Amino acid sequence: MTTQSIAAASPRLASLDAFRGCVIAAMIWVNYIAGMPGIPYWLEHTGPRADGITLPDIVFPGFLFIVGIAIPLALHRSVGRVTPALLGRLAWRAASLMVAGVVLANAYRYDAANALLPRALYFLLFYGAMMLLWRQREQQGPNRRRDWSYPAGLALMLFLLAAFRGSTDAEFDSVYLQPGWWGILGMIGWSYLLCSLIYLATKGDGTALMAALGALVALYLGGMAGAMDWLHAPLRAVVNVPQLLGSTGANVLAGTIVGWLFLRDAAADHGSRIRFMAWFALGLFVCGLLLRPYHGINKIQATASYTLVCAAIVLALFLCCYVMVDVWGWRRWTVAVLPAGTNALFAYIAPDLWEQCAAVLHLPRLWWPFLESGGAPGLLNAAVMTAAMLGLTALASRIGLRLKF
């Protein structure tokens, strides 16, 4: 790739921000309606033994996919110039997501009776520490050296990690924090690190990235067949290699290949990009169906078929967004979701941040009149709350509170 093509490819991809905002909005909404009575079955997550997907099952793969798209756009200047500093930044970003994921995955077992802090205050401070650590800062300037937020956030986070106390159950045998399920953020951290390293190792070569995608799918299939049983049992318990690195990593890497498309030839016409994405989506979908007889399309098990089919659906939706926003120039509708698209981490934590703040202040939950009754009013109530969280994210962005891990 020439210097000119890199320079031309650097501007922010408007459709990516818009699509990311749509995915975040969908994630907030489906989290609100989870477990709500009186809603259609296709708005509920499928069961642990199901062979199929519903609308909520596609949301997390959508988030993984857009994480992958962003990797080449962020790392293309580092291809061929990998330094210890770069690897350190990647490790820090991944580790911070993993730690946040572990804390949130342990949240349900928080034991306020034996902990130092009440539950709501603990998690409100936890989100405060996340914001201090992940707040987007000036790269240069007179205020850079006087910025106290990072050391304060680090100190607060270390205190909270040490202060956690939880109940024990079949999954957790310690009262302290421990990884069981890594949580959404933790899974993103693992797959982000893996796919970033793959992208750097392949030097952004499209053929090599395709081969790596096949290898990750094979890693899942082989791992489920026992090919990874030689790993020590404690390691297998901490890192579920087939699911966490295999199928989840494949989901992110599929997005990385699409991100690579926009760097391969910055002068490429829209038609060639559309054709590539359409054929790639079709290929992912067909491969997913061909693998369905082995483990089914199952979200809980993160099967290879589930990953490929969802990646295909997400890519088809992103293709539609790309055509509308970047080809046809239909951008007015994106105003509602762009704040979440450009400040995704804040938008992700906004709902629980609001709930914990309300709990600390002992506010009556007047914003949830139809949570218990559900049905159509409950779905509309969830949509209103989703819009409110998007508005809160827009307000945070306006006052300069942007999070970037």
- pLDDT one-digit tens code per residue, 8-55: 444 568 999 999 999 999 999 999 999 999 999 999 999 999 999 999
Q: What would the pLDDT profile of 290-342 be if each residue is shown by its tens digit?
A: 999 999 999 999 999 999 999 999 999 999 999 999 999 999 999 999 999 99
pLDDT score of 5: 42
Round to whole Å and give the CA distance between 59 and 340: 15
- Quote the pLDDT of residue 211: 98
At residue 141, the pLDDT reads 55
**Cα separation, 294 vs 290, whole angstroms:** 9
Segment 77-98, tens digit of pLDDT:
888 888 999 999 999 999 999 9
Taking only the tens place, the pLDDT of each residue in 173-183 is 889 998 878 99
374: left (phi over 0), alpha (psi -120 to 50) or beta: left
The CA-atom distances, in angstroms, between 53 and each of 260, 303, 310, 360 are: 28, 12, 9, 37
Cα dist from 56 to 26, 32, 95, 314, whole Å = 8, 11, 27, 12
Give the position of tokens 């979701």. Answer: 337
3-state secondary structure at position 175: coil
pLDDT of residue 266: 58
Residue 17 tokens, joined: 């921000």
Domain boundaries, the chain: 3-106+178-398
- Which two three-digit tokens encode residue 210? 């395709």
Closest of 259, 292, 309, 285 to residue 58, by C-alpha: 309
Residues 138-168: pLDDT tens digits? 665 555 556 788 899 999 999 999 999 999 8
Residues 239-261 pLDDT 10s: 889 999 999 999 999 999 999 99
Percent of the chain with pLDDT over 90: 80
Q: Assign residue 401 a region (left: φ > 0; alpha: ψ between -120 and 50; beta: otherwise).
A: beta
* Structure confidence at residue 231 (pLDDT): 85
Q: What is the pLDDT of residues 56-72, one digit of tens each?
A: 999 999 999 999 999 99
Task: Judge contact between 329 and 270, C-beta under 8 A.
Answer: no
Mean pLDDT over all residues of the chain?
Answer: 91
- 403, pLDDT greater than 80: yes
Tokens of 120: 């709501």
pLDDT higher than threshold 80 for residue 220 = yes
